[in-house]
Amino acid sequence: NAGVTQTPKFQVLKTGQSMTLQCAQDMNHEYMSWYRQDPGMGLRLIHYSVGAGITDQGEVPNGYNVSRSTTEDFPLRLLSAAPSQTSVYFCASRTGQGVAISGYTFGSGTRLTVV
C-alpha cells in the first residue's frame, strides 16, 4: 500500500546513545517533515524538507539532524539521546503541487523512550 513507512515502531535508548529513525514514502511527495508528539503539546515540527537536497529547521530542531538524499527517504538522527527526547515521532509527507495546500500523509509513528 502506498504511504509513509516509519521504522522502528518502538525503541528504547540509553542516555547518550545515537540512533536513526527511518522514514520512506512512495508517493513521490516533495515535502517531508518530522514531528514529535508530547502530551498536552500537540505536534511540534522538528525538521522539514521541500525536496531532495533541501532541509530546514522547524520549531524544535536541537539534538536532531536530517538529510534528504532522495525524494523517498528522510531519516531523522538523534545525535546523543536525552530523556527529554522521549516522545512519539511522526514522519509526514505531502505533495507541493496545486494551488490549494494539500494535507499531510502521516506514518504510524515511532515511540521512543530514553532512559
Partner 1 sequence: GNSVTQMEGPVTLSEEAFLTINCTYTATGYPSLFWYVQYPGEGLQLLLKATKADDKGSNKGFEATYRKETTSFHLEKGSVQVSDSAVYFCALSEVANQFYFGTGTSLTVIP
**DSSP 3-state assignment of 87?**
strand
Task: Please choose, out of 13-21, 69-77, 78-86, 104-112, the segment that lies near partner 1 by the rule CB under 8 A.
Answer: 104-112
Candidates 45, 75, 77, 82: give the one binding partner 1 (CB under 8 A): 45
| Residue 107 near partner 1 by CB under 8 A | yes
Residue 84 bridge partners (DSSP): none
Show the cell assigned to 24. 520512506
CA distance 108 to 92: 9
- Pairing relation of β-strands 10-13 and 19-25? unpaired
- Pairing relation of β-strands 19-25 and 4-7? antiparallel
Candidates 21, 25, 29, 48: give the one binding partner 1 (CB under 8 A): 48
| Residue 41 near partner 1 by CB under 8 A | yes
> Where on the chain is the footprint of partner 1 (CB under 8 A)?
4, 31, 33, 40-43, 45, 48, 50, 90, 92, 96, 100-101, 103-109
